[in-house]
Amino acid sequence: MKIYANAAEAAGILKRGKFDDASRTAAVRAIVAAVRERGDAALFEYCKTLDGSDLDANTVAVSRREIEEAYAVLDADLLASMKRAANNVLSYHKRNPMREDIRTQNGRTTGYTVRPVERAGIYVPGGTAPLFSSVLMGVLPAKAAGVEHIFVCTPAKNGKIAPAVLAAADLCGAEAVFKVGGAQAIAALAYGTESIPKVDVIAGPGNIYVTLAKKEVYGEVGIDMLAGPSEILIIADDRQEPRFIAADVLSQAEHDRLARALVLTDSRAFAERVQAEVERQLALLPRQSIAAESCANAGGIILVHDMAEACALANEIAPEHLEIATENCEQLLPNIRNAGAVFLGSFTPEPVGDYFAGPDHTLPTGGTARFFQVLNQDIFLRKMSVLRYTREALREDAQDIVRLAENEGLTAHANAIRARSEEEE
């Protein structure tokens, strides 16, 4: 893991890919169009071609028997931990719900009411590991919002889904789990097929094809965000334990070869200790080749003059995960504007949020934390405006409304007000 003297020297690793890969975009559009037009037939063709799963209308949905078999083979201690994590996540997402706010003053009632969407589709990546934690982080915010129908799509391998993923979906209350992944799964959820219901919102991370598919169907359905490779940025002072910082770097680097892991520090001596510790720990990892490529191509330790510069650079980068591992972490927090999630102090490593604490781990990446937010129950809720005027209130405001409408050239708008005010006269 290279040490950079400043941010300018590290410009190469700070560059991010965009969601505009022409060849992949064309491939995704073809998949989405085929599923939209041909439904199950196209869906099952792509599942066989891309995932190697030979599915039909009778096997695409996970059966109750498969779920029971998953529970039977799942380690009891793992299941207990999953249940505790699920309780934390659900309790967290039930905090401070978006509430109805309707007020009446002088005959004028205005405000909004809040309703959950009817159907949510949760995408759970397959990848190289069974990401059952992504089930919790996708299904439970929707459940907290009050969504009635929650469906999970995840790719199957040889027609099978990892037992932990199935158990997680069941204990979180998913209505159904479908053995489909990739762009074809996103298209099926967006448009509906004979076997998979059309949903209102699609949430959950995935690979570049999943992300491009979400971008393609946005507008037909709502989406949570456009998520890319995982990333972590750590602001650390020289009072930290290098072993901790190195472990946190590798906790993201092992995700995939495109994952980004960066450290900002104002101490070169500390940077060198972290660098050595990363190399030592890297040699011991089962996913060593993945983490090594990530550290080499998208990772680094960047020296800054002080913590003010570190915070300014962090805001520019807008990382998915931001750890502030400093003695004065609480004092630095007000300086942070752009991050998916912030982890404070020496004993709050990013996996605390990935699995257990409660806040969601589905976060904006690639600098999109400037405008996207962490997956939460609000993604599945809608505000609907509510208005009511009395006769007297309309009479009082009629002249202003008519004047505004006529000056926009919208005579019929003005007439809708006049018809009522003239009736009063």
* pLDDT level of residue 257 (50, 70, 90 thresholds): confident
If you average pLDDT over residues 340-363, what whole number do you get? 94
**Active site (annotated) includes residue 149:** no
* pLDDT level of residue 423 (50, 70, 90 thresholds): low
* pLDDT level of residue 106 (50, 70, 90 thresholds): very high
Q: pLDDT (tens digit, 9 = 90+) per residue, 54-90?
A: 999 999 999 999 999 999 999 999 999 999 999 999 9
pLDDT of residue 229: 87
Residue found under tokens 């609480």: 330
**Active site (annotated) includes residue 321:** yes
* Domain formed by 39-102+113-223, architecture: 3-Layer(aba) Sandwich (3.40)
If you average pLDDT over residues 261-287, what whole number do you get? 96
Whether the pLDDT of residue 231 is over 70: the answer is yes
Whether the pLDDT of residue 315 is over 70: the answer is yes
Average pLDDT, the chain: 94
Of the residues 254, 255, 277, 321, only one is catalytic, namely 321
Q: pLDDT (tens digit, 9 = 90+) per residue, 362-390?
A: 999 989 999 999 999 999 999 999 999 99
Q: Are 332 and 324 in contact (CB under 8 A)?
A: yes
Whether the pLDDT of residue 310 is over 90: the answer is yes
CATH topology of domain 3-17+229-371: Rossmann fold (3.40.50)
Q: pLDDT (tens digit, 9 = 90+) per residue, 10-28?
A: 988 887 656 667 889 999 9
pLDDT of residue 23: 86
d(CA 219, CA 420): 37
d(CA 249, CA 273): 13
Whether the pLDDT of residue 51 is over 90: the answer is no
d(CA 122, CA 137): 9
* pLDDT level of residue 128 (50, 70, 90 thresholds): low
pLDDT of residue 227: 85
Of the residues 216, 277, 320, 323, only one is catalytic, namely 320
* pLDDT level of residue 169 (50, 70, 90 thresholds): very high
Domain coordinates of the chain in residue numbers?
Answer: 3-17+229-371, 39-102+113-223, 390-424
Whether the pLDDT of residue 425 is over 70: the answer is no
Q: CA neighbours within 13 Å on the CB side: how many for 9?
A: 10
Whether the pLDDT of residue 139 is over 90: the answer is yes
If you average pLDDT over residues 420-425, what whole number do you get? 68
If you average pLDDT over residues 412-416, what whole number do you get? 96
Nearest to residue 145, comparing CAs of 62, 222, 71?
222
Q: pLDDT (tens digit, 9 = 90+) per residue, 323-342?
A: 999 999 999 999 999 999 99
Whether the pLDDT of residue 151 is over 70: the answer is yes
pLDDT of residue 343: 97
pLDDT of residue 275: 97
pLDDT of residue 256: 84
* pLDDT level of residue 32 (50, 70, 90 thresholds): very high
